[in-house]
Structure 1
Protein backbone atom coordinates (compact mmCIF):
# COMPACT_ATOMS: atom_id res chain seq x y z
CA UNK A 1 0.00 0.00 0.00
CA UNK A 2 1.33 3.44 -0.99
CA UNK A 3 2.29 5.85 1.79
CA UNK A 4 -0.28 8.49 2.67
CA UNK A 5 0.87 12.08 2.13
CA UNK A 6 -1.15 15.09 3.21
CA UNK A 7 -2.16 17.78 0.73
CA UNK A 8 -3.69 21.22 1.24
CA UNK A 9 -7.06 19.74 0.30
CA UNK A 10 -6.64 17.09 2.98
CA UNK A 11 -5.97 19.74 5.61
CA UNK A 12 -9.08 21.67 4.58
CA UNK A 13 -11.20 18.53 4.67
CA UNK A 14 -9.77 17.56 8.05
CA UNK A 15 -10.76 20.97 9.42
CA UNK A 16 -14.29 20.34 8.15
CA UNK A 17 -14.23 16.92 9.81
CA UNK A 18 -13.16 18.45 13.13
CA UNK A 19 -15.95 21.03 12.88
CA UNK A 20 -18.53 18.31 12.18
CA UNK A 21 -17.40 16.35 15.24
CA UNK A 22 -17.22 19.47 17.43
CA UNK A 23 -20.76 20.54 16.57
CA UNK A 24 -22.24 17.03 16.53
CA UNK A 25 -23.30 16.76 12.94
CA UNK A 26 -23.10 18.07 9.39
CA UNK A 27 -26.05 20.48 9.63
CA UNK A 28 -24.79 22.17 12.81
CA UNK A 29 -21.26 22.42 11.42
CA UNK A 30 -22.51 23.96 8.17
CA UNK A 31 -24.41 26.61 10.14
CA UNK A 32 -21.45 27.47 12.35
CA UNK A 33 -19.04 27.59 9.41
CA UNK A 34 -21.38 29.69 7.30
CA UNK A 35 -21.25 27.05 4.56
CA UNK A 36 -23.95 25.14 2.74
CA UNK A 37 -25.00 21.70 3.95
CA UNK A 38 -24.07 20.16 0.60
CA UNK A 39 -20.56 21.66 0.70
CA UNK A 40 -19.78 20.29 4.16
CA UNK A 41 -21.27 16.90 3.33
CA UNK A 42 -19.29 16.73 0.07
CA UNK A 43 -16.01 17.63 1.79
CA UNK A 44 -16.58 15.02 4.49
CA UNK A 45 -17.33 12.36 1.88
CA UNK A 46 -14.23 13.40 -0.08
CA UNK A 47 -12.08 12.92 3.02
CA UNK A 48 -13.55 9.46 3.65
CA UNK A 49 -12.90 8.48 0.04
CA UNK A 50 -9.39 9.92 0.13
CA UNK A 51 -8.26 7.95 3.18
CA UNK A 52 -10.44 4.92 2.43
CA UNK A 53 -12.13 4.90 5.85
CA UNK A 54 -15.71 5.50 6.95
CA UNK A 55 -15.31 8.18 9.58
CA UNK A 56 -18.86 8.60 10.83
CA UNK A 57 -22.42 7.41 10.65
CA UNK A 58 -24.98 10.06 9.79
CA UNK A 59 -28.66 9.74 9.10
CA UNK A 60 -32.00 9.65 10.85
CA UNK A 61 -30.50 7.84 13.83
CA UNK A 62 -28.15 10.78 14.42
CA UNK A 63 -24.43 11.40 14.12
CA UNK A 64 -21.69 9.20 15.57
CA UNK A 65 -18.04 8.38 14.86
CA UNK A 66 -16.95 4.95 13.79
CA UNK A 67 -14.06 3.41 15.79
CA UNK A 68 -11.76 4.28 12.88
CA UNK A 69 -13.24 7.78 12.85
CA UNK A 70 -12.36 8.21 16.51
CA UNK A 71 -8.75 7.32 15.73
CA UNK A 72 -8.62 9.80 12.85
CA UNK A 73 -10.26 12.46 15.02
CA UNK A 74 -7.59 12.10 17.72
CA UNK A 75 -4.85 12.14 15.12
CA UNK A 76 -6.30 15.26 13.47
CA UNK A 77 -6.39 17.08 16.79
CA UNK A 78 -2.71 16.22 17.36
CA UNK A 79 -1.86 17.28 13.82
CA UNK A 80 -3.41 20.74 14.10
CA UNK A 81 -1.95 21.19 17.55
CA UNK A 82 1.52 20.63 16.06
CA UNK A 83 0.74 22.94 13.15
CA UNK A 84 -0.43 25.58 15.60
CA UNK A 85 2.77 25.22 17.61
CA UNK A 86 4.81 25.64 14.43
CA UNK A 87 2.85 28.75 13.42
CA UNK A 88 3.34 30.27 16.87
CA UNK A 89 7.06 29.66 16.70
CA UNK A 90 7.30 31.31 13.28
CA UNK A 91 5.15 34.21 14.43
CA UNK A 92 7.23 34.76 17.56
CA UNK A 93 10.44 34.61 15.53
CA UNK A 94 9.40 37.19 12.97
CA UNK A 95 7.18 39.39 15.14
CA UNK A 96 8.16 43.04 15.45
CA UNK A 97 6.31 46.14 16.51
CA UNK A 98 4.91 46.19 13.01
CA UNK A 99 2.91 43.41 11.39
CA UNK A 100 -0.85 43.32 11.23
CA UNK A 101 -3.78 43.20 13.61
CA UNK A 102 -7.29 42.12 12.57
CA UNK A 103 -10.37 43.24 14.49
CA UNK A 104 -13.76 41.77 13.57
CA UNK A 105 -17.03 43.47 14.51
CA UNK A 106 -20.70 43.34 13.60
CA UNK A 107 -22.34 46.20 11.75
CA UNK A 108 -22.60 49.61 13.45
CA UNK A 109 -20.56 48.66 16.53
CA UNK A 110 -17.73 51.03 15.64
CA UNK A 111 -20.14 54.00 15.53
CA UNK A 112 -21.57 53.22 18.98
CA UNK A 113 -20.17 55.93 21.30
CA UNK A 114 -20.54 53.60 24.29
CA UNK A 115 -18.38 50.94 22.65
CA UNK A 116 -15.16 52.93 22.66
CA UNK A 117 -13.77 50.89 19.77
CA UNK A 118 -12.35 53.93 17.97
CA UNK A 119 -10.58 55.14 21.13
CA UNK A 120 -9.15 51.66 21.68
CA UNK A 121 -7.82 51.50 18.13
CA UNK A 122 -6.31 54.95 18.54
CA UNK A 123 -4.49 53.76 21.65
CA UNK A 124 -3.22 50.69 19.80
CA UNK A 125 -1.90 52.93 17.05
CA UNK A 126 -0.02 55.02 19.59
CA UNK A 127 1.57 51.90 21.10
CA UNK A 128 2.27 50.21 17.74
CA UNK A 129 2.53 53.03 15.17
CA UNK A 130 3.90 50.71 12.47
CA UNK A 131 1.21 48.07 12.87
CA UNK A 132 -1.34 47.67 10.07
CA UNK A 133 -4.77 47.59 11.76
CA UNK A 134 -7.58 45.96 9.77
CA UNK A 135 -11.25 46.23 10.78
CA UNK A 136 -13.77 43.89 9.14
CA UNK A 137 -17.54 43.48 9.53
CA UNK A 138 -19.09 40.04 10.03
CA UNK A 139 -22.44 38.46 10.84
CA UNK A 140 -22.51 37.92 14.59
CA UNK A 141 -22.57 34.08 14.65
CA UNK A 142 -19.41 34.03 12.53
CA UNK A 143 -17.27 36.19 14.87
CA UNK A 144 -16.30 33.31 17.17
CA UNK A 145 -15.52 30.99 14.24
CA UNK A 146 -13.34 33.62 12.56
CA UNK A 147 -11.34 34.04 15.78
CA UNK A 148 -11.03 30.32 16.32
CA UNK A 149 -9.76 29.84 12.77
CA UNK A 150 -7.25 32.71 13.28
CA UNK A 151 -8.74 34.83 10.52
CA UNK A 152 -9.18 37.68 12.97
CA UNK A 153 -7.23 38.38 16.18
CA UNK A 154 -10.04 39.85 18.25
CA UNK A 155 -13.78 39.86 17.69
CA UNK A 156 -16.54 41.97 19.20
CA UNK A 157 -19.72 39.93 19.64
CA UNK A 158 -23.06 40.21 21.38
CA UNK A 159 -23.88 36.57 20.69
CA UNK A 160 -21.03 34.54 22.23
CA UNK A 161 -20.82 30.88 21.27
CA UNK A 162 -18.48 30.10 24.21
CA UNK A 163 -16.15 27.95 22.10
CA UNK A 164 -13.52 26.06 24.08
CA UNK A 165 -10.28 27.55 22.62
CA UNK A 166 -11.49 31.12 23.10
CA UNK A 167 -11.42 33.69 25.89
CA UNK A 168 -14.36 36.06 26.41
CA UNK A 169 -14.09 39.43 28.18
CA UNK A 170 -17.02 41.84 28.82
CA UNK A 171 -16.62 44.91 26.61
CA UNK A 172 -19.64 47.22 26.76
CA UNK A 173 -23.44 47.34 26.77
CA UNK A 174 -25.63 48.39 23.87
CA UNK A 175 -29.09 49.82 24.57
CA UNK A 176 -31.99 48.73 22.36
CA UNK A 177 -35.54 50.06 22.15
CA UNK A 178 -38.59 49.03 20.13
CA UNK A 179 -39.36 51.25 17.14
CA UNK A 180 -42.06 51.47 14.49
CA UNK A 181 -42.83 53.73 11.54
CA UNK A 182 -45.09 56.70 12.24
CA UNK A 183 -46.90 55.81 9.02
CA UNK A 184 -47.39 52.11 9.80
CA UNK A 185 -51.04 50.99 9.65
CA UNK A 186 -50.31 48.77 12.66
CA UNK A 187 -49.02 51.53 14.93
CA UNK A 188 -52.14 52.10 17.05
CA UNK A 189 -52.85 48.38 17.53
CA UNK A 190 -49.21 47.67 18.35
CA UNK A 191 -49.09 50.40 20.96
CA UNK A 192 -52.20 49.01 22.61
CA UNK A 193 -50.96 45.43 22.52
CA UNK A 194 -47.60 46.27 24.08
CA UNK A 195 -48.85 48.78 26.64
CA UNK A 196 -48.57 46.28 29.50
CA UNK A 197 -46.84 43.01 30.25
CA UNK A 198 -50.19 41.21 30.00
CA UNK A 199 -51.89 42.69 26.94
CA UNK A 200 -49.19 41.62 24.52
CA UNK A 201 -50.78 38.18 24.26
CA UNK A 202 -54.16 39.55 23.17
CA UNK A 203 -53.23 40.58 19.64
CA UNK A 204 -50.47 39.59 17.24
CA UNK A 205 -47.82 42.26 16.78
CA UNK A 206 -46.02 42.47 13.38
CA UNK A 207 -42.32 42.16 14.13
CA UNK A 208 -39.09 42.36 12.14
CA UNK A 209 -36.79 39.61 13.40
CA UNK A 210 -32.99 39.83 13.34
CA UNK A 211 -30.59 37.06 12.40
CA UNK A 212 -28.56 38.41 15.32
CA UNK A 213 -30.04 36.40 18.22
CA UNK A 214 -29.17 37.16 21.83
CA UNK A 215 -30.67 35.79 25.04
CA UNK A 216 -31.99 39.28 25.79
CA UNK A 217 -33.83 39.46 22.46
CA UNK A 218 -35.25 35.97 22.78
CA UNK A 219 -36.54 36.63 26.31
CA UNK A 220 -38.28 39.80 25.08
CA UNK A 221 -39.82 37.97 22.11
CA UNK A 222 -41.19 35.22 24.36
CA UNK A 223 -43.14 37.75 26.43
CA UNK A 224 -45.32 38.90 23.55
CA UNK A 225 -47.31 37.43 20.69
CA UNK A 226 -44.95 38.67 17.99
CA UNK A 227 -45.85 37.71 14.44
CA UNK A 228 -42.72 37.66 12.27
CA UNK A 229 -43.54 39.90 9.33
CA UNK A 230 -39.98 40.12 8.01
CA UNK A 231 -36.35 39.31 8.74
CA UNK A 232 -33.09 41.17 8.34
CA UNK A 233 -29.43 40.22 8.43
CA UNK A 234 -28.17 43.71 9.27
CA UNK A 235 -29.45 46.91 10.84
CA UNK A 236 -29.88 48.76 7.54
CA UNK A 237 -32.20 46.08 6.15
CA UNK A 238 -34.26 46.04 9.35
CA UNK A 239 -34.51 49.83 9.39
CA UNK A 240 -35.77 49.77 5.79
CA UNK A 241 -38.49 47.26 6.69
CA UNK A 242 -39.56 49.29 9.72
CA UNK A 243 -39.69 52.57 7.76
CA UNK A 244 -41.77 50.78 5.11
CA UNK A 245 -44.39 50.07 7.79
CA UNK A 246 -43.94 46.29 7.77
CA UNK A 247 -43.70 46.02 11.56
CA UNK A 248 -41.80 46.99 14.68
CA UNK A 249 -38.22 46.02 15.55
CA UNK A 250 -35.62 46.24 18.28
CA UNK A 251 -32.90 48.68 17.21
CA UNK A 252 -29.86 50.16 18.97
CA UNK A 253 -30.59 53.66 20.25
CA UNK A 254 -27.31 55.03 18.88
CA UNK A 255 -28.10 53.61 15.42
CA UNK A 256 -31.54 55.24 15.30
CA UNK A 257 -30.02 58.58 16.33
CA UNK A 258 -27.30 58.34 13.69
CA UNK A 259 -29.89 57.50 11.01
CA UNK A 260 -31.32 61.02 11.51
CA UNK A 261 -34.84 60.01 10.49
CA UNK A 262 -38.03 61.38 11.99
CA UNK A 263 -39.99 58.52 10.48
CA UNK A 264 -39.63 56.32 13.58
CA UNK A 265 -41.47 56.38 16.88
CA UNK A 266 -40.53 54.42 19.98
CA UNK A 267 -43.04 51.86 21.26
CA UNK A 268 -42.64 51.80 25.05
CA UNK A 269 -43.09 48.48 26.83
CA UNK A 270 -42.58 47.39 30.44
CA UNK A 271 -39.52 45.43 29.31
CA UNK A 272 -37.63 48.03 27.27
CA UNK A 273 -35.06 49.44 26.89
CA UNK A 274 -32.96 46.30 26.63
CA UNK A 275 -29.25 46.17 27.49
CA UNK A 276 -27.19 43.77 25.37
CA UNK A 277 -23.80 42.74 26.74
CA UNK A 278 -21.01 42.69 24.17
CA UNK A 279 -17.78 40.75 24.59
CA UNK A 280 -14.26 40.77 23.27
CA UNK A 281 -13.28 37.30 22.09
CA UNK A 282 -9.79 36.06 21.29
CA UNK A 283 -7.81 32.83 21.38
CA UNK A 284 -6.21 31.87 24.68
CA UNK A 285 -3.05 31.00 22.77
CA UNK A 286 -3.09 34.17 20.66
CA UNK A 287 0.31 34.91 19.19
CA UNK A 288 -0.33 38.64 18.82
CA UNK A 289 -0.95 39.01 22.53
CA UNK A 290 0.85 42.34 22.99
CA UNK A 291 -1.57 44.00 20.58
CA UNK A 292 -4.56 42.28 22.20
CA UNK A 293 -3.49 43.50 25.65
CA UNK A 294 -3.18 47.03 24.28
CA UNK A 295 -6.74 46.81 22.97
CA UNK A 296 -8.22 45.34 26.16
CA UNK A 297 -6.40 47.81 28.42
CA UNK A 298 -8.61 50.58 27.00
CA UNK A 299 -11.59 48.72 28.48
CA UNK A 300 -10.00 47.75 31.78
CA UNK A 301 -9.46 44.17 30.47
Structure 2
Protein backbone atom coordinates (compact mmCIF):
# COMPACT_ATOMS: atom_id res chain seq x y z
CA UNK A 1 0.00 0.00 0.00
CA UNK A 2 2.81 2.41 0.86
CA UNK A 3 4.40 1.94 -2.57
CA UNK A 4 1.08 2.51 -4.30
CA UNK A 5 0.52 5.72 -2.35
CA UNK A 6 4.05 6.91 -3.12
CA UNK A 7 3.61 6.16 -6.83
CA UNK A 8 0.39 8.19 -6.76
CA UNK A 9 2.17 11.07 -5.00
CA UNK A 10 5.05 11.09 -7.53
CA UNK A 11 2.58 11.02 -10.44
CA UNK A 12 0.69 14.00 -8.98
CA UNK A 13 3.92 16.01 -8.61
CA UNK A 14 5.14 15.08 -12.11
CA UNK A 15 1.75 16.09 -13.53
CA UNK A 16 1.68 19.41 -11.72
CA UNK A 17 -1.38 18.82 -9.56
CA UNK A 18 -4.41 16.70 -8.76
CA UNK A 19 -6.52 17.67 -11.78
CA UNK A 20 -3.68 17.11 -14.24
CA UNK A 21 -2.95 13.68 -12.75
CA UNK A 22 -6.51 12.38 -13.26
CA UNK A 23 -5.91 11.21 -16.83
CA UNK A 24 -2.64 9.47 -16.02
CA UNK A 25 -4.00 7.72 -12.94
CA UNK A 26 -7.41 6.92 -14.41
CA UNK A 27 -9.27 7.80 -11.19
CA UNK A 28 -11.47 10.66 -10.03
CA UNK A 29 -9.97 13.71 -8.34
CA UNK A 30 -11.89 12.91 -5.16
CA UNK A 31 -10.21 9.49 -5.02
CA UNK A 32 -6.79 11.10 -5.54
CA UNK A 33 -7.49 13.51 -2.68
CA UNK A 34 -8.53 10.64 -0.40
CA UNK A 35 -5.40 8.63 -1.18
CA UNK A 36 -3.14 11.65 -0.68
CA UNK A 37 -4.77 12.33 2.68
CA UNK A 38 -4.13 8.69 3.65
CA UNK A 39 -0.44 9.04 2.74
CA UNK A 40 -0.12 12.23 4.76
CA UNK A 41 -1.72 10.52 7.79
CA UNK A 42 0.72 7.59 7.49
CA UNK A 43 3.69 9.97 7.27
CA UNK A 44 2.44 12.36 9.92
CA UNK A 45 2.83 15.62 8.01
CA UNK A 46 1.43 17.59 5.08
CA UNK A 47 3.04 17.01 1.70
CA UNK A 48 1.46 19.74 -0.41
CA UNK A 49 -0.83 22.72 -0.45
CA UNK A 50 -3.77 22.53 -2.84
CA UNK A 51 -6.64 24.90 -3.39
CA UNK A 52 -7.57 28.01 -5.32
CA UNK A 53 -3.96 29.18 -5.26
CA UNK A 54 -2.88 26.02 -7.05
CA UNK A 55 -0.74 23.00 -6.22
CA UNK A 56 2.52 23.48 -4.30
CA UNK A 57 4.79 21.09 -2.40
CA UNK A 58 5.70 21.81 1.19
CA UNK A 59 9.37 21.69 2.17
CA UNK A 60 8.85 18.22 3.63
CA UNK A 61 6.87 17.21 0.55
CA UNK A 62 9.85 18.10 -1.64
CA UNK A 63 12.12 15.85 0.43
CA UNK A 64 9.62 12.98 0.30
CA UNK A 65 9.25 13.39 -3.49
CA UNK A 66 13.03 13.14 -3.93
CA UNK A 67 13.28 10.10 -1.64
CA UNK A 68 10.27 8.42 -3.24
CA UNK A 69 11.89 8.75 -6.67
CA UNK A 70 15.00 6.97 -5.41
CA UNK A 71 12.90 4.26 -3.77
CA UNK A 72 10.79 3.61 -6.87
CA UNK A 73 13.92 3.48 -9.03
CA UNK A 74 15.33 0.88 -6.64
CA UNK A 75 12.07 -1.09 -6.83
CA UNK A 76 12.31 -1.03 -10.62
CA UNK A 77 15.89 -2.29 -10.50
CA UNK A 78 14.82 -5.05 -8.09
CA UNK A 79 12.02 -6.09 -10.46
CA UNK A 80 14.40 -6.31 -13.43
CA UNK A 81 16.94 -8.35 -11.46
CA UNK A 82 14.45 -10.84 -10.05
CA UNK A 83 12.90 -11.49 -13.47
CA UNK A 84 16.06 -13.38 -14.37
CA UNK A 85 15.18 -16.17 -11.92
CA UNK A 86 11.82 -16.97 -13.50
CA UNK A 87 10.32 -17.59 -16.92
CA UNK A 88 7.32 -15.49 -15.93
CA UNK A 89 7.37 -12.02 -17.46
CA UNK A 90 6.24 -9.43 -14.92
CA UNK A 91 6.37 -5.70 -14.35
CA UNK A 92 5.24 -2.72 -16.40
CA UNK A 93 6.16 -1.87 -19.98
CA UNK A 94 5.77 1.78 -21.05
CA UNK A 95 5.47 1.97 -24.84
CA UNK A 96 5.69 5.21 -26.80
CA UNK A 97 4.09 5.56 -30.24
CA UNK A 98 4.36 8.42 -32.71
CA UNK A 99 1.07 10.21 -33.36
CA UNK A 100 -1.32 9.28 -36.20
CA UNK A 101 0.43 6.19 -37.55
CA UNK A 102 -0.94 4.57 -40.71
CA UNK A 103 -3.75 1.99 -40.17
CA UNK A 104 -1.62 -0.90 -41.48
CA UNK A 105 1.17 0.05 -39.07
CA UNK A 106 -1.24 0.16 -36.13
CA UNK A 107 -2.52 -3.27 -37.13
CA UNK A 108 1.01 -4.71 -37.12
CA UNK A 109 1.67 -3.22 -33.68
CA UNK A 110 -1.65 -4.64 -32.48
CA UNK A 111 -0.67 -8.07 -33.80
CA UNK A 112 2.64 -7.77 -31.95
CA UNK A 113 0.83 -6.97 -28.70
CA UNK A 114 -1.45 -9.96 -29.24
CA UNK A 115 1.47 -12.37 -29.70
CA UNK A 116 3.25 -10.82 -26.73
CA UNK A 117 0.21 -11.24 -24.50
CA UNK A 118 0.22 -15.00 -25.15
CA UNK A 119 3.42 -15.17 -23.11
CA UNK A 120 3.34 -12.00 -21.01
CA UNK A 121 -0.20 -11.87 -19.64
CA UNK A 122 1.09 -10.57 -16.27
CA UNK A 123 2.92 -7.55 -17.69
CA UNK A 124 1.11 -4.22 -17.40
CA UNK A 125 1.26 -2.42 -20.75
CA UNK A 126 1.02 1.37 -20.91
CA UNK A 127 0.86 2.90 -24.41
CA UNK A 128 1.58 6.63 -24.73
CA UNK A 129 1.42 8.65 -27.96
CA UNK A 130 3.37 11.81 -28.66
CA UNK A 131 5.57 13.81 -31.00
CA UNK A 132 9.11 12.61 -31.74
CA UNK A 133 10.56 15.19 -29.33
CA UNK A 134 8.22 14.08 -26.55
CA UNK A 135 9.00 10.38 -27.07
CA UNK A 136 12.73 11.00 -27.15
CA UNK A 137 12.62 13.10 -23.98
CA UNK A 138 10.62 10.45 -22.13
CA UNK A 139 13.03 7.71 -23.25
CA UNK A 140 16.04 9.70 -22.07
CA UNK A 141 14.40 10.52 -18.72
CA UNK A 142 13.36 6.90 -18.08
CA UNK A 143 9.62 7.55 -18.42
CA UNK A 144 9.39 5.24 -21.46
CA UNK A 145 10.92 1.80 -21.97
CA UNK A 146 10.55 1.62 -25.75
CA UNK A 147 9.24 3.86 -28.52
CA UNK A 148 8.35 3.78 -32.22
CA UNK A 149 8.90 7.10 -33.95
CA UNK A 150 11.19 9.12 -36.20
CA UNK A 151 14.10 10.97 -34.67
CA UNK A 152 16.39 13.58 -36.24
CA UNK A 153 19.32 12.99 -33.88
CA UNK A 154 20.76 9.70 -32.66
CA UNK A 155 21.62 9.88 -28.96
CA UNK A 156 24.39 7.67 -27.60
CA UNK A 157 22.09 6.76 -24.69
CA UNK A 158 19.54 5.19 -27.07
CA UNK A 159 19.59 2.28 -29.51
CA UNK A 160 17.74 2.61 -32.83
CA UNK A 161 16.50 0.02 -35.32
CA UNK A 162 14.59 0.88 -38.51
CA UNK A 163 11.06 -0.57 -38.68
CA UNK A 164 9.29 1.03 -41.66
CA UNK A 165 9.18 4.09 -43.93
CA UNK A 166 6.53 6.81 -44.14
CA UNK A 167 6.01 9.17 -47.10
CA UNK A 168 5.56 12.89 -46.45
CA UNK A 169 4.29 15.35 -49.10
CA UNK A 170 3.58 19.06 -49.31
CA UNK A 171 -0.10 20.13 -49.43
CA UNK A 172 -2.39 23.14 -49.62
CA UNK A 173 -6.13 23.38 -48.91
CA UNK A 174 -8.89 24.13 -51.43
CA UNK A 175 -9.15 27.73 -50.21
CA UNK A 176 -5.46 28.41 -50.92
CA UNK A 177 -4.57 30.31 -54.13
CA UNK A 178 -2.27 27.47 -55.23
CA UNK A 179 -5.15 24.97 -55.19
CA UNK A 180 -6.71 26.35 -58.36
CA UNK A 181 -3.46 27.40 -60.02
CA UNK A 182 -2.95 25.85 -63.46
CA UNK A 183 0.67 25.16 -62.58
CA UNK A 184 2.69 25.43 -59.39
CA UNK A 185 6.33 26.53 -59.37
CA UNK A 186 9.02 26.43 -56.70
CA UNK A 187 9.00 30.22 -56.74
CA UNK A 188 5.27 30.25 -55.93
CA UNK A 189 5.87 27.87 -53.02
CA UNK A 190 8.62 30.13 -51.70
CA UNK A 191 6.13 32.99 -51.55
CA UNK A 192 3.52 30.88 -49.73
CA UNK A 193 3.20 30.84 -45.94
CA UNK A 194 4.59 27.47 -44.83
CA UNK A 195 4.03 25.88 -41.43
CA UNK A 196 7.24 25.64 -39.41
CA UNK A 197 8.12 22.34 -37.68
CA UNK A 198 10.87 22.29 -35.10
CA UNK A 199 10.81 18.48 -34.91
CA UNK A 200 10.85 17.60 -38.62
CA UNK A 201 13.56 15.36 -40.03
CA UNK A 202 16.50 17.15 -41.64
CA UNK A 203 15.87 15.60 -45.05
CA UNK A 204 15.92 17.28 -48.45
CA UNK A 205 12.15 17.71 -48.46
CA UNK A 206 11.93 18.90 -44.88
CA UNK A 207 14.63 21.52 -45.46
CA UNK A 208 12.32 23.43 -47.83
CA UNK A 209 11.89 26.85 -46.20
CA UNK A 210 9.45 29.41 -47.57
CA UNK A 211 9.98 33.14 -47.27
CA UNK A 212 7.11 33.35 -44.81
CA UNK A 213 6.53 30.95 -41.90
CA UNK A 214 3.92 32.51 -39.65
CA UNK A 215 2.51 29.27 -38.27
CA UNK A 216 4.18 26.78 -35.93
CA UNK A 217 3.04 23.20 -35.36
CA UNK A 218 4.23 20.34 -33.17
CA UNK A 219 1.48 17.88 -34.17
CA UNK A 220 0.06 16.49 -37.39
CA UNK A 221 -3.49 17.52 -36.48
CA UNK A 222 -2.35 21.14 -36.26
CA UNK A 223 -0.63 20.83 -39.68
CA UNK A 224 -3.93 19.68 -41.16
CA UNK A 225 -5.86 22.56 -39.59
CA UNK A 226 -3.41 25.09 -41.02
CA UNK A 227 -3.71 23.47 -44.47
CA UNK A 228 -7.53 23.42 -44.38
CA UNK A 229 -7.55 27.09 -43.37
CA UNK A 230 -6.35 27.97 -46.87
CA UNK A 231 -3.73 30.32 -45.43
CA UNK A 232 -0.78 27.93 -45.17
CA UNK A 233 0.98 25.04 -46.88
CA UNK A 234 2.55 22.18 -44.95
CA UNK A 235 3.91 18.66 -45.08
CA UNK A 236 1.65 15.77 -44.06
CA UNK A 237 2.08 11.99 -43.94
CA UNK A 238 0.58 10.60 -47.15
CA UNK A 239 -1.91 8.39 -45.31
CA UNK A 240 -3.19 11.33 -43.23
CA UNK A 241 -3.75 13.48 -46.32
CA UNK A 242 -5.37 10.72 -48.42
CA UNK A 243 -9.03 11.03 -47.29
CA UNK A 244 -8.85 14.82 -47.69
CA UNK A 245 -7.18 14.41 -51.07
CA UNK A 246 -9.86 11.94 -52.19
CA UNK A 247 -12.55 14.41 -51.07
CA UNK A 248 -10.96 17.17 -53.15
CA UNK A 249 -10.19 19.33 -50.12
CA UNK A 250 -6.38 19.31 -50.33
CA UNK A 251 -3.88 19.26 -53.18
CA UNK A 252 -0.33 17.88 -53.49
CA UNK A 253 2.28 20.49 -54.33
CA UNK A 254 5.18 19.37 -56.57
CA UNK A 255 5.42 15.89 -54.98
CA UNK A 256 8.35 14.88 -57.21
CA UNK A 257 10.40 17.82 -55.92
CA UNK A 258 9.36 18.13 -52.29
CA UNK A 259 8.04 14.71 -51.27
CA UNK A 260 10.34 12.82 -48.92
CA UNK A 261 10.45 9.65 -46.83
CA UNK A 262 10.95 9.23 -43.10
CA UNK A 263 12.41 6.13 -41.45
CA UNK A 264 10.51 5.13 -38.30
CA UNK A 265 12.69 3.44 -35.73
CA UNK A 266 12.22 1.15 -32.77
CA UNK A 267 14.13 2.84 -29.95
CA UNK A 268 15.20 1.55 -26.54
CA UNK A 269 17.65 2.72 -23.87
CA UNK A 270 21.24 1.72 -24.61
CA UNK A 271 21.70 -0.35 -21.44
CA UNK A 272 22.79 -3.87 -20.59
CA UNK A 273 20.14 -4.37 -17.90
CA UNK A 274 16.99 -4.23 -20.05
CA UNK A 275 14.19 -6.23 -18.47
CA UNK A 276 13.21 -9.56 -19.99
CA UNK A 277 9.70 -8.19 -20.54
CA UNK A 278 11.14 -5.37 -22.65
CA UNK A 279 13.51 -7.61 -24.60
CA UNK A 280 10.73 -10.05 -25.52
CA UNK A 281 8.43 -7.22 -26.63
CA UNK A 282 11.18 -5.56 -28.67
CA UNK A 283 12.00 -8.82 -30.43
CA UNK A 284 8.30 -9.50 -31.10
CA UNK A 285 7.86 -6.09 -32.77
CA UNK A 286 10.94 -6.62 -34.93
CA UNK A 287 9.79 -10.10 -35.99
CA UNK A 288 6.25 -8.93 -36.83
CA UNK A 289 7.51 -6.15 -39.10
CA UNK A 290 10.11 -8.46 -40.67
CA UNK A 291 7.47 -11.03 -41.59
CA UNK A 292 5.30 -8.22 -43.04
CA UNK A 293 8.16 -7.24 -45.34
CA UNK A 294 9.17 -3.92 -43.79
Q: Secondary structure at the match of 1:117?
A: helix
Could you tell me how far 1:191 is from its partner in structure 2? 4.8
Say whether 1:292 aligns with 2:282: yes
Say whether 1:262 aligns with 2:252: no
Answer whether contact 1:206 1:226 (CA < 8 A) is retained.
yes
Partner residue in 2 for 1:23: none
Q: CA RMSD in A?
A: 3.5
Could you tell me how far 1:88 is from its partner in structure 2? 3.2
Say whether 1:178 aligns with 2:170: yes
1:196-253 Cα distance to aligned partner (Å, 9 max, x none):
xxx468x51221222332012xx32545644213121211111111101011111011
- Normalising by structure 2, report the TM-score: 0.62
Say whether 1:144 aligns with 2:136: yes
1:243-292 Cα distance to aligned partner (Å, 9 max, x none):
01011111011112356753111112432431111111101322232232
Partner residue in 2 for 1:229: 214
Say whether 1:206 aligns with 2:196: no
Kindly tell me: are residues 90 and 123 of structure 1, through their superposed partners in 2, closer, same or farther at Cα, counting changes over 3 Å? closer
1:6-63 Cα distance to aligned partner (Å, 9 max, x none):
xxxxxxxxxxxxxxxxxxxxxxxxxxxxxxxxxxxxxxxxxxxxxxxxxxxxxxxxxx
Answer whether contact 2:200 2:206 (CA < 8 A) is retained.
no
Aligned length: 218
Say whether 1:88 aligns with 2:62: no
Q: Secondary structure at the match of 1:270?
A: helix
- 2: CA distance between counterparts of 1:180 and 1:293? 40
- 1: CA distance between counterparts of 2:248 and 2:193? 21
Moved more, 183-192 or 171-180: 183-192
Of 187, 193, 203, which residue of structure 1 is paired with 2:185? 193
- 2: CA distance between counterparts of 1:85 and 1:210? 38
1:102-150 Cα distance to aligned partner (Å, 9 max, x none):
1102211264548832332232223323332221012211322212322
Answer whether contact 1:144 1:161 (CA < 8 A) is retained.
no
Q: Secondary structure at the match of 2:262?
A: strand
Of 249, 266, 280, which residue of structure 1 is paired with 2:266? 280
Of 248, 271, 274, which residue of structure 1 is paired with 2:257? 271
**Structure 1 segments unaligned to the other structure (5+ residues):** 1-79
- 2: CA distance between counterparts of 1:103 and 1:251? 24
- 2: CA distance between counterparts of 1:102 and 1:110? 21
Kindly tell me: are residues 221 and 172 of structure 1, through their superposed partners in 2, closer, same or farther at Cα, counting changes over 3 Å? closer
Of 63, 87, 104, which residue of structure 1 is paired with 2:96? 104
**Structure 2 segments unaligned to the other structure (5+ residues):** 1-69
- Normalising by structure 1, report the TM-score: 0.61
Partner residue in 1 for 2:44: none
